[in-house]
Amino acid sequence: MSAGAGTASLELPGGFALESGERLPSVTVAHRTWGRLDAGGTNAVLVCHALTGSADVDGWWGALLGPGRALDPDRDFVVCSNVLGGCYGTTGPTSPRPGGHGRWGGDFPAVSVRDIVRVQAALLDALGVKRLRLVVGGSLGGMQV
């Protein structure tokens, strides 16, 4: 599977240590944003998707996203990233294995919810977010919140 239309990718600098003690040599984070980050970096809203979801908030929570709605791009900088270990563009089993030897597949290390959240925090830092106004999600997204 691949990331949806409008999805951007960010390569996190350096490797990424997992809670298990294993280390990923690199991590790419696929994500989508709506709206603009204010000068202070304080109007960000993080949306965390469910286990089988993707960063396409407009597709699965479209009724909540838009001017005058709960997730208002005229007011908020809305961010949603695809989870670490998922299949929508963030590093996971379908990603190329380091060294160009096929894909990770079943050799991809287990990740924890904390690992997923730490990757999101690194993405937010890279985007210039200083403070979140709101974090919301259902299912696995609720566990991240």
Q: List the one residue out of 18, 3, 4, 42 whose CA is nearest residue 119.
A: 18
Determine how β-strand 44-48 pairs with β-strand 77-81.
Answer: parallel
Sorting pLDDT into bands at 50, 70 and 90, what band is 87? Answer: confident
Q: What is the mean pLDDT of residues 58-74?
A: 96
Distance from C-alpha of 97 to C-alpha of 89, rounded to nearest angstrom: 14
Q: Is the pLDDT of residue 22 over 70?
A: yes
Which of 3-7, 57-61, 101-105 has the weakest average pLDDT? 3-7
pLDDT of residue 2: 46
